[in-house]
A and B are shown apart, each in its own frame.
Chain A
């Protein structure tokens, strides 16, 4: 469990740090007000968009990946909890963990994209 947290957070921070440095290098002379008024990752918030962005090495896609890893870390914790309860033969706690997992994925994959 602690391993999941350290690895997830560490990975997210490394990817985000690399992405932000690359963004600064790629956008010389850009001011903070420009950055605040537009979100550079809107094109990468779908599976095909993210995949093609990563394949072409786009900085926005890398930053999106870092954010996804950050959000996914607690979700992986829920998955490992579900595995633990299932191994112990606790059906009700397994069902509760599974419901929490489904709701988390519903927010990320269905509700968010739908209301954008």
Chain B
């Protein structure tokens, strides 16, 4: 039961959704967690949406955020399309499996399992998000044969350091494994994949943080397109909810990525994490049928 479960006028509903999505897009882009982390639980808790409608809408927030903020990264040569594309060979099959699982769980009337699993993923995001490295550049690690063959290396201009920074990918096999898992999570819920992707890009491929973040931004759009394709054509994306959320998230993410880069720091993240923890607890409680 949501606060608005009794129903409000459609025009008011759409305006409320746009406002919620602007806030979610803003916070999501500042923390790098994406708007869906806020939108999905709030749709369920305050708007009385079913978990499957909320998840379908979650994909829309990721697509909007990735496209709204991606243009800047590609222009700055930070997003490594080559490395991103190589890893998509693992995330996309994962996302197809994840989205199919969500549809089957909904068909089987196991929405409570989805709520509990979503709560668990939100909890898992918290340590992953806190654990993000703050070392500007990783120590050099030799690339493996596959990375060398595919040319998974590059360089970018680091504004803070004032020089060109070369990088090369290492440990591609474990990275593919982690990316498959990130794909399954993204495909099931439309959220969470970005945090795990950045971790894999930094920890396994040994990429500089800025390149990892920008490449993850390219990747989440493609992975979300895989999950969203399944959810949309299976009839789980409701445009009356998704359209206002897409509009609001794009506006919020655009403003967040252009006008407030100085705010993108640990403080915002630390303020935001208790909110996610509260939403995660609420999801799990609902999954177990508690008020």
What is the distance, in angstroms, from A96's C-beta to the closest C-beta of chain B?
5
Give the docked Cα–Cα distance between A1 and B105 (Å).
37
**A57 contacts partner chain B, Cβ-Cβ < 8 Å:** no
Cβ-neighbour of A33 out of B48, B222, B235, B239 (below 8 A): B48
Task: Judge whether A51 is part of the interface by a CB distance below 8 angstroms.
Answer: no
Query: Does B287 lie at the interface of the complex (its beta carbon under 8 Å from any beta carbon of A)?
Result: no
Instruction: Tell me the residues in window 90-116 of chain A with beta carbons closer than 8 Å to chain B beta carbons.
Output: 90, 92-93, 96-97, 99-100, 103-109, 111-113, 115-116
Residue-wise interface mask of B (78-108) relative to A, using a CB-CB cutoff of 8 A (1 in contact, 0 not): 0001100110110011011001100110010
Question: Nearest Cβ distance between residue B64 and chain A, in whole angstroms?
Answer: 7
Q: Which of A54-70 contact B (CB under 8 A)?
A: 60, 63-64, 66-68, 70
Assess whether A67 is in contact with B74, with CB atoms less than 8 Å apart.
no
Q: How many A-B contacts are there with CB distance less than 8 Å?
A: 211
Interchain CB contact (< 8 A) of B89 among A70, A100, A109: A100
Q: Say yes or no: B247 contacts A74, CB within 8 Å.
A: no
Q: Contact check, A2 vs B85: say whether CB atoms are below 8 A apart.
A: no
CB–CB B234/A23 < 8 A: no
Q: Choose from B47, B71, B240 the contact partner of A20 (Cβ within 8 Å).
A: B240
Give A72's nearest chain B residue, CB to CB: B225
B6 within 8 A of A: yes
Q: Assess whether B153 is interfacial by the CB under 8 Å rule.
A: no
User: Which residue of B is nearest A23, CB measured?
Assistant: B240
A112 contacts across to B, CB distance below 8 A: 99, 229-234
Other A-B contacts than A30-B10, A35-B241, 19 sampled, CB-CB below 8 A, are: A2-B70, A5-B70, A20-B240, A20-B244, A32-B47, A36-B47, A45-B235, A67-B243, A71-B229, A71-B232, A73-B221, A96-B86, A100-B89, A103-B93, A111-B233, A112-B233, A115-B100, A115-B103, A116-B103
Nearest first, the 5 A-B pairs at minimum CB distance are A112-B233, A108-B229, A31-B7, A33-B7, A63-B239
